Structure formats: C-alpha cells, structure tokens
Amino acid sequence: MQPNVTATSNLMIRPVGTSEIADLIELQRQALPGSLPSRLGTGFLRLYYESLIPQPDFLCDAFFLDSRMLGFIAYSPNSQDVLKKAMNTRLGAYLGVVAKSLLRNPRRLPMVLAIVPSTLALSREPGHDIRSEMISIGVLPRYRGSSASSTAGRHVAADLMRHALSVLQARGVERVKLYTRLERDDPAANKFVQKHGFSLVKTVRRYGQVANLYIGEFRP
C-alpha cells in the first residue's frame, strides 16, 4: 500500500519511517519539551518510538520542508491496544530506560510514581470508551502559525490535524479523543483543538497531571 502523501512543491506530509526516529526525537524535544516522553529523556523517547512506529495502528506523520521535519502528529484508531502492546513486548526495556533516567536525574522520581497508576490501568483511564486518539502534535516554534514565509503561508499544525482526521475518518472512525493541558496553562492548544471541532468534555487526571479531555465526532 502506498503511503498517504499530501504535497505542494517542496512541502509534504508523510509517515515517519523507523530510519527517521532520531530526527523525530529531536523534533519532539524542541516542540514538546514539557511532554511526558520528553521529560523522561532521549533514551525513553527512542524506545517509545521504536516500539510504536512498527505497529500498523500507530500512525505518525510529519510535515516536511524538503528533508527537514517541521512538525509531527501521532495518532491511532486504537491507542489503548497499541500502547499496551508496546509496554507488554518491551516491558524490561522500558523499566531499564526509566531506571537509567532516574539515576541521571533523581528528581524525576515523583513524576514516575505519579504516572504508574495510569500506565497500569489504561483500560480504565478517562475516555477509555473511545479507542481512537490524537496522541500528540508538535511543531517547531519558528514554524507555528501561518505567517512563516518558508512554508508558503501554510499552517503546519492545522495541515497535520486535518490530514490525521481525514485518515481516521477513512478508516471508519466515528469519534476521536485528545488531551490538552488546562486552558489557563496552554490557551493556544485549547483554542486550536476547539477550532478543529473538538468539544471539551471534562477535566481529568491522567499520568499524574490534570488535563482537559476533548472529543471530536465525524459528521456523516
């Protein structure tokens, strides 16, 4: 099957390959430094993507300018099973990476202890009845918004979101969830997802953090 590609001139959205994981890690560290995987360090990020990208139901697409990644979106029509499979098949490796992360920075211990309950109870987490999820989206700071001349006025995050939504809809997904930080902490992210048709359902606690749970529905 040919990859789903959207392109204009030298701008392209396409799937991230396993050979591009190092570039993806660097992008995530710059675009989402406060995200949980980024806070656990480069080793965790590498294992995270190595165990997820080969799975058919884990979709990770990037916006490229020539060969450079400007942004990415990770999503899945069945996120719970994808994450469980990654953990179950590489559990020893994950424990080892987390242990090394703690040795390098013991101050990460409270964060790790806070996320353990969520990791062990994915099937009971808030929004568990909706299997499809926008897992993460990140864009390099200088390419956020639609004014960057180097992207011909295209809005990188919006293009990625529209692309991912179209892929999920083509797969027969009817509802999709995502989580953001609270509006007072990240008003731009909340405004962005609302603009793309997501409705705030409730505030929840997930992976030791308080977050907003949004749900989007595809209209027939």
57-113 residue pLDDT tens: 999 999 998 889 999 999 999 998 998 899 889 989 988 998 988 898 898 888 778
User: Residues with Cβ < 8 Å from 79, sequence gap 6 or more?
Assistant: 131, 132, 133, 135
pTM exceeds 0.95 for this model: no
Which CATH class name applies to 6-217? alpha beta
Angle at 200 between CA 154 and CA 215, to 5 degrees: 75
Rounded average pLDDT over 130-155: 78
Q: Residue 36 pLDDT > 70, yes or no? A: yes
Question: Comparing 166 with 118, which gets the higher pLDDT?
Answer: 166
List the chain domain ranges. 6-217
Give the pLDDT band of residue 2 (cuts 50, 70, 90).
Answer: very low
- Model pLDDT for residues 160-214, shown as the tens digit of each residue: 999 999 999 999 999 999 999 999 999 999 999 999 999 999 998 887 788 999 9
